[in-house]
Structure 1
Amino acid sequence: MRLIDSHCHLDFPDFADELDAVVARAREAGVETMITIGTRIDRAQRLAEIAEAYDDVFFTVGAHPHEAAKEASSDFAAMRRLAAHPKCVGIGEAGLDYHYNYAPPEVAERVFRGQIALARELDLPLVVHTREAEADTAAILKDEMARGAFRGLLHCFTSSRALAEAALDLGLMISFSGVVTFKNAEELRRIARDVPLDRLLVETDAPYLAPVPHRGRRNEPAFVAATARVVAEARGMAPEALAEAARLNTLRLFSRIEGACA
């Protein structure tokens, strides 16, 4: 299979001692491209350094909702400067997370909307994180899309069919992680079955959420193949066909990748 891991975190300490080996294993598993996703502005330079070190790694810049209350997360001018890097391919991950509520909801919303505005301004895709915040996420996305179109995806989708349909109605894509392989994820597999094939991506969210049969281990980009196989099975497709569709969707959404490789 030819694969893309559309969402991982190669800058996290979990990979610090063996990043070369992690990237090598991904390549051996057929992963042609990895997108390492920004969560903190003060770590963005490290993301750029990783992307510069590996031809097949790209990055995004953004502030995770857990970080929204920190002053740097509102520095949209810094995000804009960092996004000018030729291997920066998107904005985020941005969104809402009410599970821990590390930031007051009004602050999280302001940082989320600011990153949407930046994605729109720069014509870069927005990587959206949402957890226990479906109604507010859907409302903000709908409101912001009415202000001006932008591209993006809901990453590590584990939410309801209603949110999936709302995102699709707005023209967004949906990415599935290793959670879709878990034994109790029958409804999520049904959603993965029904998402239009041209709107579907796969990811690891490594180092988190390792798919079956790797569950319980630290996740890494090579394991995206297991997720692709389960999504393919849910859709009644050959794994190679699913992986190719997801690969092409990722390249279409993160359109800077092919330009950077030219």
Structure 2
Amino acid sequence: MMRLFDTHCHLDFDAFDKDREAVLERANEAGVERFMVPGVTRNQWEKLTSLASKNTSWSYALGLHPWFIEEHDISDIEALEQTLEQQKGQVKAVGEIGLDKTCQHYDKQHTLFIRQLELAKQLKLPVIIHHRKTLDRTHADIKKYGPERGVIHAFSGSHQQAMKFVEQGYKLGVGGVITYDRAQKTRQAIQDVPIESLVLETDSPDMPLSGYQGQRNEPYRVALVLDALAELKSTDKEALASQLWKNSVELFS
């Protein structure tokens, strides 16, 4: 069976509290062997690290997500640094971090983003980047402050923007967006990017695939994202899966 890695899923969220084991079982049956679970707030890190310690298939990251900007404080950066140092070797990335123009307090977002990029660079950890209407600013900040490795989660930009990140050594996260015919710009960009620069993700419980709107998303559907990507790139699915697994393991080793 093909080995799959869901490089972005929020398995620690409350949406999975009632049936987390069944969710993992369905994923395993679909060939999903590993999961990257990013942190989003300081208050949630403890739950995440506790769950990850009990699930050997989980890798995890810690960070401050811009969606929760009102919960974050500058002092959380110090707490993040201490926690990353304490869990050195266990935590595999800094994330989910980024910039979101649809959220409030953009200046505060930007300050926290830069501080987290610098922290990742200092600790030689990759970053997991959230973006919304901020791709060019994000690229400039990564180039100036960030580490050499990372992933642009749920990439949704042009081919030109995609290649800027690829040239920087970053991966692009490919999820349910490519299953929607209306997402032509993103589909075209992903089609033209080398497969060595891609990883699969679901963003569970969010970002449902086409045909599953209104339902909780789950990691087993990363296999359906693979199907869509193989079709989009007109390439052999097994060879594609093998390369994507390699990309993911190298990124979060």
**TM class, shorter-chain normalised?**
over 0.9
- Unaligned 5+ segments in structure 1 are 256-262
Contact 1:82-1:88 within 8 A present in 2 as well: no
Partner residue of 1:89 out of 71, 88, 92: 92
Partner residue of 2:229 out of 203, 207, 231: 231
Partner residue of 1:250 out of 243, 248, 251: 248
Deviations 1:64-123 (A, max 9, x none): 012234344642232123324243111011110011x23x22211110011111111111
Contact 2:175-2:202 within 8 A present in 1 as well: yes
Contact 2:65-2:95 within 8 A present in 1 as well: yes
Asked if 1:64 is matched to 2:71, the reply is: no
* C-alpha deviation, 1:246, in angstroms: 1.1
* C-alpha deviation, 1:211, in angstroms: 1.6
When structure 1 is superposed on structure 2, of 77-86 and 223-232 the one drifting more is 77-86
User: 2:184 & 2:72 partners in 1: Cα distance?
Assistant: 40
Q: Report the secondary structure of 2:61's partner residue.
A: strand
Query: Among the aligned pairs, what percent are the same residue?
Result: 33
* C-alpha deviation, 1:182, in angstroms: 1.0
User: 1:245 & 1:74 partners in 2: Cα distance?
Assistant: 40
Q: Report the secondary structure of 2:243's partner residue.
A: helix
Contact 1:116-1:150 within 8 A present in 2 as well: no
Counterparts of 1:21-32 in structure 2, within 5 Å, are: 21-32=22-33
When structure 1 is superposed on structure 2, of 84-93 and 105-114 the one drifting more is 84-93
Q: Report the secondary structure of 1:68's partner residue.
A: helix
Partner residue of 2:181 out of 180, 183, 201: 183
When structure 1 is superposed on structure 2, of 206-215 and 169-178 the one drifting more is 206-215
Query: What residue number does 2:41 align with?
Result: 40
* C-alpha deviation, 1:26, in angstroms: 0.6
Query: What residue number does 1:113 align with?
Result: 114
- Unaligned 5+ segments in structure 2 are none
Q: Which amino acid aligns with 1:91?
A: V
* C-alpha deviation, 1:168, in angstroms: 1.4
User: 1:90 & 1:49 partners in 2: Cα distance?
Assistant: 17
User: 1:144 & 1:156 partners in 2: Cα distance?
Assistant: 21
Q: Report the secondary structure of 2:8's partner residue.
A: strand
Partner residue of 1:170 out of 163, 168, 171: 168
TM-score (norm 1): 0.90
Contact 1:37-1:61 within 8 A present in 2 as well: yes
Partner residue of 1:209 out of 186, 200, 207: 207
**Corresponding residue pairs, total:** 250
Q: Which amino acid aligns with 1:136?
A: R
Contact 1:8-1:204 within 8 A present in 2 as well: yes
What root-mean-square deviation, in Å, do the aligned CA atoms of Structure 1 and Structure 2 show? 1.6
Task: Please identify runs of 4+ aligned residues in structure 1 that moved more than 6 A.
Answer: none
Q: Which amino acid aligns with 1:198?
A: E
Deviations 1:137-178 (A, max 9, x none): 122122225xxx431110111122232122112111111111
Contact 2:62-2:91 within 8 A present in 1 as well: yes
User: 2:208 & 2:242 partners in 1: Cα distance?
Assistant: 21
* C-alpha deviation, 1:134, in angstroms: 2.3
Query: What residue number does 1:123 align with?
Result: 124
User: 2:17 & 2:37 partners in 1: Cα distance?
Assistant: 14
Query: What residue number does 2:159 align with?
Result: 161
Contact 1:65-1:97 within 8 A present in 2 as well: yes
Query: What residue number does 1:259 align with?
Result: none
Partner residue of 1:222 out of 210, 220, 223: 220
